[in-house]
Amino acid sequence: MIYSRNRRLRTGASIRSLVQENSLSVNDFVMPVFVMEGENRQEAISSMPGIFRRSIDLTVKECRELFTLGVKAVNLYMKVSEELKDNTGKEAWNSNGLMQNTIRAIKDAVPEMVIMPDVALDPYSIYGHDGIIENGKIANDKTNEALAKMSVSLAEAGADIVAPSDMMDGRVLAIREALEENGFHDVGILSYGAKYASSFYGPFRSALDSAPKENADIPKDKKTYQMDFHNSREALNEVFKDVEEGADIIMIKPGLPYLDIVAKVREAIDLPIAVFNVSGEYAMLKAAAQNGWLDNDRAIIESLTCFKRAGADMIFTYAAKEAAMILGR
């Protein structure tokens, strides 16, 4: 005789909703947004169906729509003109730069929107690296100085939370100190605690034209700073350092192939955890959906819910707007 039947609690939608352990809502989403120069311009990113690079005016319009749908945070990325790139990344702290102007325009139009600009040098680097290159290597501490300057400049423009994605050692402390010295006590740091050197960033790099350049004198990939995907314990070591240095939120990236890391970090820390459902994950889902191999809406909701189940508090996803619309139906 069987007395324990797990299926009893699955017999109908109502009982299933009572025993449901996790839920997904629009409050969980952060939308990554690509910005470019110009006016009334928008360009589709071919490897990311439904995602565009937009000029500031259209970005503001998009932010209004996002906010109306309930998406209350955006993560900003700039397509920087080639002539503004160099090895120092100095355009990153130009108070009149594209990022700074974008932040001001969004703040002005949608003051309640939480603005989280990306902090890293790759879109500003002639080499496509997240740091400054010296003698063929990424110079850690010099890069930290640049990231601190960039963060202060973004805070001056109105950023709410800076999001360093570069994986230099000690950059959270360098940024925190610079923000405090400049009076930005309330500007937070969302730190990419564990960011892996991943092939899933491919579509993003083509969207910004920010892939490491082919050049024998510089590292051809980001493996000297981003983590090795074979490793798990190392993620905790990275995360604990960022917590100690003063991070407010910890990011795990990529997302779907790294849910074990999300769950492990969830067990280890009490700070909010963000996860990045990166460009390659989005591209895979869209490619399958466009071929009729997956149900687009159901696959999006399922995969985003899995991030919540793993323990994430917020999800950076290119599907944020679409998911908000699906959840709102």
Residues forming the active site: 195, 253
Q: How far is the CB of 9 from ligand PBG (least distance, A)?
A: 37
- Which residues between 188 and 207 bind ligand PBG (CB under 6 A)? 201, 204-205
Backbone angle region of 106, left / alpha / beta, with phi > 0 → left and psi within -120 to 50 → alpha: alpha
Q: Under 8 Å CB-to-CB from 141, ≥6 apart: which residues?
A: 170
Q: How far is the CB of 131 from ligand PBG (least distance, A)?
A: 10
315 forms part of the interface with ligand PBG (CB under 6 A): no
Site for ligand PBG contains 90 (CB under 6 A): no
Which residue's CB comes closest to ligand PBG? 204
Residue placing its CB nearer to ligand PBG in the complex, 122 or 238: 122
Burial of 57 (0-12, 13-18, 19+ CB in 10 A): middle
Helix, strand, or coil (residue 38): coil
Q: How many CB atoms lie within 10 A of CB 146?
A: 26
β-strands 29-35, 52-54 pairing: parallel
Within 240-279, the residues that bind ligand PBG by CB under 6 A are 278-279
Place of tokens 């939370």: 161
Figure out which of the listed residues 118, 160, 242, 245 binds ligand PBG, where binding follows CB under 6 A.
Answer: 118
- CB nearer to ligand PBG: pick between 64 and 212: 212
- C-alpha 30/C-alpha 114 separation (Å) is 9
The least CB distance from residue 201 to ligand PBG, in Å, is 4
Residue 122 found at the interface with ligand PBG (CB under 6 A): yes
Using the contact rule CB under 6 A, the part of the chain among 103-111, 115-123, 136-144, 285-293 near ligand PBG is 115-123
CB of 237 to ligand PBG, least distance (A): 20
Cα 312 from Cα 272, distance rounded (Å)? 8
- Identify which of 301, 302, 306 has the alpha carbon closest to the alpha carbon of residue 329: 301
Q: Where is 109: in which H helix or E strand?
A: helix 98-109
CB of 130 to ligand PBG, least distance (A): 5
Binding of ligand PBG at residue 62 (CB under 6 A)?
no
CA dihedral 38, 51, 159, 175 (to 10 degrees): -110
What distance in Å separates the CA atoms of residue 52 and residue 132, rounded to the nearest whole number?
Answer: 29
Choice between 171 and 222, CB closer to ligand PBG: 222
User: Both tokens of residue 35?
Assistant: 């910005």
Q: Judged by CB under 6 A, does residue 165 bind ligand PBG?
A: yes
47 binds ligand PBG (CB under 6 A): no
Interface residues with ligand PBG (CB under 6 A) are 118, 120, 122, 130, 165-166, 201, 204-205, 222, 278-279
